[in-house]
Each structure stands twice: as C-alpha cells, then as structure tokens.
C-alpha cells in the first residue's frame, strides 16, 4: 500500500532467537524503515511457556537491543516532501 504508516514492536532476545533470527530482524528494519518502531528486550511473564525457557545471556540481549535501537536512529523515518500534505481520513469511532 503506497504511503502507508506502519508502527510495529520488536522483541529482542526471545529465548529461542538465534543470531540468524536477529540478523533477519535487523534486515527487516533496514528494508522497511518503520517510521514507528518500539524495541524491547524480552522479559518473561510468569505462567507463560516462555518464562520456563532458557534465557539468552543478559549482555547479548542488551547488545541486540542496542544494535536495533541504533539502526532505528540511523534512518529518516519521515519523507520530508510529504510534510504538509492533507488527506481525507475515515473515523471509525469517537472517544469520549
């Protein structure tokens, strides 16, 4: 879809994440240049299957999170020529 704005979340260092998985995630960020990207280090929630999995080393988890954050800061998230454009929008629900 042309000119779509996609906001997404990325979790770094999920217990089963390999270095190859992480590099694929980094390539996805490079390719799509998400204008809004929330990057979080995996944190287990008690009672979930992931909470019982072996965690990735803390230093490695921080490295991956920092690397993805640095990549996100490297690129321009907004196309300057689009600033000031006006568009029709569809409001589906009004908050009160």
Residue 1 placed within a domain: no
Span 18-68, pLDDT tens digits: 999 999 999 999 999 998 999 999 999 999 999 999 999 999 999 999 999
Number of compact structural domains in the chain: 1
Residue 92 placed within a domain: no
Whole-model pTM: value is 0.79
- Domain limits at 15? 7-82
**Would you place residue 2 in the very low, low, confident or very high pLDDT band (cuts 50, 70, 90)?**
confident
- 66: domain CATH number? 3.30.750.200
Residue 68 placed within a domain: yes
Q: What is the pLDDT of residue 4?
A: 77
CA–CA separation, 2 and 14 (whole Å): 32
* Residues ≥6 apart with Cβ < 8 Å to 38: 7, 8, 9, 10
Side-chain-side CA neighbours of 76 within 13 Å: the count stands at 6
Which position has the token pair 């089963």?
16
Q: Indicate if the pLDDT at residue 6 is higher than 90.
A: no
């Amino acid at each position: 879809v042309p000119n779509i704005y996609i906001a997404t979340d990325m979790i770094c260092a999920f217990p089963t994440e390999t270095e190859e998985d992480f590099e694929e995630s980094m390539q996805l960020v490079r390719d799509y240049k998400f204008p809004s990207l929330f990057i979080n280090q995996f944190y287990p929630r008690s009672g979930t299957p992931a909470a019982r999995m072996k965690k990735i080393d803390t230093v490695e988890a921080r490295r991956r999170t920092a690397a993805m954050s640095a990549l996100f800061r490297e690129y321009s998230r907004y196309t300057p020529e689009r600033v000031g454009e006006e568009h029709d929008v569809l409001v589906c629900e009004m908050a009160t």
